[in-house]
Chains A and B, each alone.
Chain A
Amino acid sequence: MSLDLVATTELCFSYNGAEVLDKVSFRVRQGDYLGIVGPNGSGKSTLVKTILGLNRPAHGTVTLFGNPQEQFADWQKIGYLPQRLKFFNPNFPATVEELVRLGLLAGKNFPKRRARGDDAAVEETLAIMGIADIRKRLIGELSGGQQQRALLARAIVGRPELLIMDEPTTALDPETRERFYELLQLLNRERNTTVILVTHDTWSIGKYATRFLYIDKRVVFDGTFDQFCQSEEMTGFFGEHAQHIICHRH
């Protein structure tokens, strides 16, 4: 039986008195490619942040790799790519290479210094992401797509077992978006990297995700893509026509 990398039980979160998550329970198993979808304001980003411990839940539990989230310490096992950087300063003077190297910090003990093997990991990741030629460029000088690839490189450089991404394709053009999804699929299939991807893009993600979690403050649907297509509840949410397009597009 494969390990649950993430498990939440009756997770509740409120912000300024408004309920954002209501008893959300779900599990992510090793090798899953989970697409978390839902309308605007449905709590998708909040759910991801709560899983990562960036939000404190009002009620419920989160376990990561079998450990309670508060006691979890193996952060090198998780790579995170946020929707947008909360404090990002476009004048930040780091090069792409320096940014990617920050992704190796999670696996280091104090005092955190460069280790043998770091350079090779950075080189390999820059090559995989197709950004080796812009390694010396400052991140503030890059296009949205290049920045996103650099941030994804930072997230995967430590070879995490679980990759959590929140709306990673918002700033990308359709062609780059497709390439981005293909890359994730490659990581999922060839490295067995478990992927959790929050997206609005229900149309595209259907092609790649093996499981769907549809939330609207609570879990509305949790199952495979085929089950999603047959779900009457989803027909109710999307309408028969839209569901038909999503499910038969791929």
Chain B
Amino acid sequence: MTITEILSYGFIQRALVAGSLIAVLCAVLGVFLVLRRLSLIGDGLAHVTFGSVAIALFLRINPAVVTLAAIPLVLLSSFGILKLTDKARIYGDAAIGIVSSLGIACGVLLASVAGGFNIDLFSYLFGNILAIGTGDLLLALVLFAIVLLAVFFFYYDLVAITFDEELARSSGIHTKTINTVLVLLTALTVVLAMKLVGIMLISALLILPAVTALQVAASFRVTILVAAMLAVGSVVLGIFGSFILNLPTGASIVVVNFAVFMLVFSVNKLRQAR
């Protein structure tokens, strides 16, 4: 089967467009999260998304709008992580751990009580990008625009708090507001990425392109650009590869991302050794 033939399928076209949009968002936010040592927030919010999806399915919400329905609860949970860190004098990783386990626990409990939607929930756990419909694509486009515009407007503040939060505060930057913006944008992206790689693998999309780009960083802007390009490349390769080899798409994307990381890491080490 030629590439042209593969591209003629509507579901492949939708998967490639939605996947690329999500990949760019994950890569851009991932650079900030990795440098702020908040990499696992994506994992935590993904687990919360699991609980939110379970609630939506339990309430028999139309499966076509489950992603949309999960957004408010995930945003609320991201606030919960920030409040726990700020008010309860809990370190960020512990707060992520608490909210994340609560999300999983809710999901498992509801799945057990309902008994009937385990298969649906499974597709959210491991993603099903090839089942992305036109509605999902529109949602991806809208969220892509929102997140990217927010990053554009808050770019310098985000860089400043990522460099040093205390120094940023002494420049009059409202660090709490910027932190909230970052976590909310991550929450939106995680919900969106759920269909691409699934809840279990989202953090890989946030972390791997960022850490790969950091290996070859020449400046902050270049790091973000390289991360976005690598992420899109990995998603496109992963989708084609999984289609041709009949493999799960989400897992294939993550494996391609990891292979790219290993390649860049090894080349970088060899270059430094010379």
Contact = CB atoms under 8 A, between A and B. Distances in A.
Interface of A: 52-54, 73, 75-76, 78, 80, 82, 85-89, 91-95, 98-99, 102-103, 105-106, 108, 110-113, 136, 138
B35 A89 contact: yes
B269 interface: no
14 contacts: A78-B170, A82-B167, A85-B163, A85-B166, A88-B163, A94-B163, A95-B220, A98-B221, A105-B156, A105-B173, A110-B153, A111-B152, A112-B156, A136-B219
A85 to B, nearest CB: 5
Given A95-B219, A102-B159, A111-B153, A85 B164 contact: yes
A117 to B, nearest CB: 16
Interface in B167-194: 167, 169-173
B157 A93 contact: no
A112 B159 CA distance: 12
Contact of A102 (B160, B222, B223): B160
B166 A94 contact: no
A92 B163 contact: yes
B167 A98 contact: no
A102 B170 contact: no
A88 B164 contact: yes
Contact of A92 (B35, B166, B218): B35
Given A98-B219, A112-B157, A86 B172 contact: no
A54 B35 contact: no
**Candidate in A82, A102, A103, A108 with the most chain B CB atoms within 10 angstroms:** A102
Nearest to B159: A102
Q: Can you list the 3 inter-chain pairs with the closest CB atoms, starting with the nearest?
A: A75-B172, A93-B217, A111-B153
Contacts of A98: 159, 219-221
B35 A80 contact: no
Contacts of A87: 163-166
Contacts of B166: 54, 82, 85-87
Contact of A86 (B160, B164, B171, B223): B164
B74 interface: no
Given A94-B159, A98-B219, A106 B171 contact: yes
A172 B5 CA distance: 64
Given A54-B170, A92-B35, A111-B153, 20 more contacts: A54-B169, A75-B170, A82-B164, A82-B170, A89-B35, A92-B162, A94-B159, A94-B163, A94-B219, A94-B220, A95-B220, A98-B219, A98-B220, A98-B221, A105-B171, A105-B173, A106-B171, A110-B153, A112-B156, A138-B218
Interface string B127-160: 0000000000000000000000000111111011
B27 to A, nearest CB: 14
Interface in B204-223: 214, 217-223
Given A75-B170, A75-B172, A106-B171, A93 B156 contact: no
B170 A138 contact: no
Contact of A91 (B157, B172, B214, B221): B214
A53 B156 CA distance: 21
A113 B156 CA distance: 8
